[in-house]
Structure 1
Amino acid sequence: MTQLEELLATWIPRQRWFAGKGAPIEAVRVEAEHPIVTGDPTLRLLVVRVTQPDLTSRYQVLLGVCPEGGLPTELAHAVIGVCALAGLDSARTVYDAAHDPELTALLLDHIAQGTDGSLRFRAVPGSVVRTGLRSLVLSGEQSNTSVVYGERYVLKIFRRLWPGHNPDLELNTALAGSPFVSPPHGWIETDLGDEEGYAIPTTLAMLQEYLRSATDGWVLAATSVRDLYDAPDMPPGAAGGDFAGEAERLGSATAAVHRHLARDLPTDVLSSRALREIAQAMERRLCRAVTEVPQLEPYSGALRSAFEAFAEVDDPLPVQRVHGDYHLGQVVRTDTGWVLLDFEGEPGAPIDERQRLSSPLRDVAGMLRSFDYAARYQLVGNAHEEELAPVARGWARHNREAFCAGYANGGGVDPEKHQTVLRAFEYDKAVYEVLYEARNRPTWLRIPLDSIAALAS
């Protein structure tokens, strides 16, 4: 009879949150199994180790278990398969229980109560978590799974696991009281062994306030671009859907969050040696990218020059905790203003790397790159791409300038006065984008390549 790990070896690679796409799976092993709910259905939290060539990853699976044929039809899409399970005398249907509102409601109960054991459920001190709310999985997630409870809370389930406290919980907790974040209400954690075998408290999920009136920043920017494409002869600031005011307010909100993090968490100033090491890492990424994407080669000289100039910066470069993966998809506009989300950084990097101090200009560069993407992605495959490309560049430039002005006026480092640092971070981000698009969306490759060409001119 089929075993659970065989089913998981087939099911996990098909999930959007699986980070090892494109490489064969050599082994799948359930490393830890934590029972949460007994009976029919059963809820178990699994830590699954997936081994691939040159890559070993851990993933979290909320496993629902019920008698074969006993799953409601509305959960048919969540089925993993039918298999034998230890201690049971007949086959069971197993499924992704994140989609089962009856079981996920119990996660909220545990957080409200504060349960100990191999899993630890915690409510933020002073937070009273309301229970008995119906849940629904949000669509569109990639690296994680978000479950909304009655439009009051959202539970972000971290799918890929690294030992340590997830920066999303850590930074949102540090920013408590800020109007620019969604306050955390609780979390779930367990212990995972690190490379030396030490048990490290590890964040599995975070409960936050759900922002009912929020509109995604990417959606707002894309709407503005479409409005301008309908009136391409007008300057960006004169079009009906001008985004510059929002971009400026977003810059100010970003600066406020950076100031808050610098006030409450460690800061430092990079040494000349540290600057050179960062520049060398940028150059190594460029070398890998040029090898994999030859279209980048004509711009490699300008990129290297920017990284070399970064290595020679004389002014002290302050560093602090930052967002780490900042773009328009990580911010939402509410009735009261901009809110920043998803402070976990790059999910594919170990926790200790994501916790390293960095220049806040790294976040600024990420948002500037996002404006370029928002301006250009709608032109991919558009019959009028050539004539609209200057319009796209004008929109991006208009909103980049507004964001930087808002950031400086909001008390952040003035990007205009630190162009060498900002350019290096922006180039480095664009090189990452070139690799990503070449591997995942080849038709979008021209977006970062065109941006690099414009930056290098």
Structure 2
Amino acid sequence: MSIGQHIITERFYGAKSHTIDNVDIVLSRECGENTLAVVRINNALYQLLVNDDGKDVLNDHVEEVGASFGAWTGSSAFPIGPFTPLGTEQSNSSFITADNKAIVKYFRKLESGQNPDVELISKISSCPNIAPILGFSSAEISGANYTLVMAQQYVPGLDGWSHALTTTSGSFAEDAEKIGEATRNVHTALASAFPTRVVPVEALADALTTRLNELISQAPEIARFKEAAIDLYQSLEGDAHIQRIHGDLHLGQLIKTPERYILIDFEGEPARPLNQRRLPDSPLKDLAGIIRSIDYAAYFDGEHTQWANEATALFLDGYGSIEDQELLNAYILDKALYEVAYEINNRPDWVKIPLEAVERLLD
């Protein structure tokens, strides 16, 4: 079988409904009995560790993960396995080193430009609420730079989503405040490391309206909210501060340690092109992501409305002053509308959760 026949079964390959017209290997290195390769499929690039049959075997050959990192970097300094796979996410595959000191992430679908996960964390290494970068590898392909793999300090602990689900019948107060503090610290560090600017809120409202129209094209059921949502967006006034942000923040992107919360996975929304994910945005977008995640946790096992309200208030207390509550509400609405579209197309039984949030916000 060929690479094209195998890759359509992979979770990270998102073009399963498209016919594969061509598969070209544009970069390769021998790695044990297999080949580490960057392949172009219908003008998109993917990173694979393939066997002679063309099957991706990266998760099956964890003993070669460290060797493959060395194959790209040309260095033998990085530790060789055995590594423990964390599973394949939408756009990457991650492994923990045998000594539990590092997590190695292979970016599966590649886009030109430095990956935000590497770019952002590298510039805020002194922030106590991130896990420092230990190394990364990139390659020039057709005149453009691509980030292939990164190694980051491994932080053991429970992710914020899993922890929140254990507390919906109890107190999440201290955690919510710590998450707010961690988010503020990261935003402050990013604002110091990258340019910031002030823009008319109207520009952000226009972007939210554009996104609304995109969501309606994906899930026409959302159209019934269009008029009310646009009214809310157009009512926004004044100026807003924008900067580099996490871009896809939710409880699952946090690791709880005894001392603090650590923010992880700074890639931004995986469905958006990389050049868009690297654009500055309002920090309130990250806050909206956490608030919506809290709402999901509250409804995951029953309806813990009071828990969600208290957790949200304490999260915002931990973060500090909010420059524009109405703009925050607009970002919460945007996130909830995105969730409605996602759930309709992927998990229709869950659509009630964001749908009720949209109705509350537009009431």
Give the shorter-chain TM-score range.
over 0.9
Q: CA deviation at 1:146?
A: 0.2
Cα pair 1:296 1:449 within 8 Å, conserved: no
**Residue number in structure 2 paired with 1:27:** 21
Deviations 1:392-442 (A, max 9, x none): 22221111111001000xxxxx23x51121111111111211111111111
Which of these residues, 160, 174, 191, is aligned with residue 217 of structure 1? 160
The verdict on how the C-alpha distance between 1:28 and 1:329 changes in structure 2, with shifts beyond 3 A counting, is: farther
Counterpart check, 1:376 vs 2:299: yes
Cα pair 1:285 1:431 within 8 Å, conserved: no
Q: CA deviation at 1:320?
A: 0.9
**Residue number in structure 1 paired with 2:339:** 433
- Three-state SS of the structure 2 residue aligned to 1:344 is coil
- Three-state SS of the structure 2 residue aligned to 1:27 is coil
Unaligned runs of 5+ in 2: none
Which of these residues, 59, 73, 77, is aligned with residue 46 of structure 2? 59
Q: CA deviation at 1:377?
A: 2.9
Which of these residues, 191, 195, 208, is aligned with residue 266 of structure 1? 195
**Residue number in structure 2 paired with 1:306:** 232
Unaligned runs of 5+ in 1: 66-81, 84-93, 124-128, 194-198, 229-240, 380-388, 409-413
Counterpart check, 1:342 vs 2:265: yes
Which of these residues, 377, 388, 397, is aligned with residue 309 of structure 2? 397
The verdict on how the C-alpha distance between 1:336 and 1:122 changes in structure 2, with shifts beyond 3 A counting, is: farther
Report the RMSD for the aligned CA atoms in angstroms.
Answer: 2.2
**Residue number in structure 2 paired with 1:46:** 37
Counterpart check, 1:14 vs 2:9: yes
Q: For 2:113 and 2:218, locate their aligned partners in 1 and report how far apart those are by CA, in whole Å.
A: 33
Q: For 2:121 and 2:63, locate their aligned partners in 1 and report how far apart those are by CA, in whole Å.
A: 28
Q: CA deviation at 1:175?
A: 1.4
**What amino acid sits opposite 2:163 in the alignment?**
L
**Residue number in structure 1 paired with 2:64:** 103
The verdict on how the C-alpha distance between 1:57 and 1:432 changes in structure 2, with shifts beyond 3 A counting, is: farther
Q: For 1:327 and 1:170, locate their aligned partners in 2 and report how far apart those are by CA, in whole Å.
A: 20
- Three-state SS of the structure 2 residue aligned to 1:97 is coil
**Residue number in structure 2 paired with 1:246:** 175
Number of matched pairs: 362
Cα pair 1:63 1:97 within 8 Å, conserved: yes
Counterpart check, 1:139 vs 2:87: yes
Q: For 1:362 and 1:36, locate their aligned partners in 2 and report how far apart those are by CA, in whole Å.
A: 43
Counterpart check, 1:206 vs 2:155: no
User: Identity over the aligned pairs, expressed in percent?
Assistant: 32
Q: For 2:164 and 2:270, locate their aligned partners in 1 and report how far apart those are by CA, in whole Å.
A: 25
Q: For 1:277 and 1:224, locate their aligned partners in 2 and report how far apart those are by CA, in whole Å.
A: 39
Q: For 1:425 and 1:25, locate their aligned partners in 2 and report how far apart those are by CA, in whole Å.
A: 36
**Residue number in structure 1 paired with 2:360:** 454
User: Where in structure 2 are the equivalents of 1:349-428 lying within 5 Å?
Assistant: 349-379=272-302, 389=303, 392-408=304-320, 414-415=321-322, 417-428=323-334
Cα pair 2:173 2:310 within 8 Å, conserved: yes
Q: For 2:116 and 2:216, locate their aligned partners in 1 and report how far apart those are by CA, in whole Å.
A: 32
**Residue number in structure 1 paired with 2:247:** 324
Cα pair 2:11 2:88 within 8 Å, conserved: no
What TM-score, normalized by structure 1, do the two folds share?
Answer: 0.74
Q: CA deviation at 1:10?
A: 2.8
Q: For 2:107 and 2:291, locate their aligned partners in 1 and report how far apart those are by CA, in whole Å.
A: 27
**What amino acid sits opposite 2:57 in the alignment?**
D
Q: CA deviation at 1:261?
A: 0.9
Deviations 1:309-334 (A, max 9, x none): 23xx21x3111110000000100101
Cα pair 1:19 1:348 within 8 Å, conserved: no
Bigger drift between 324-333 and 94-103 goes to: 94-103
Q: CA deviation at 1:27?
A: 2.0
The verdict on how the C-alpha distance between 1:253 and 1:104 changes in structure 2, with shifts beyond 3 A counting, is: same
Q: CA deviation at 1:95?
A: 4.2
Cα pair 1:158 1:205 within 8 Å, conserved: yes
* Pair member with larger Rg: 1
Bigger drift between 367-376 and 25-34 goes to: 25-34
Q: CA deviation at 1:375?
A: 1.3
**What amino acid sits opposite 2:213 in the alignment?**
C
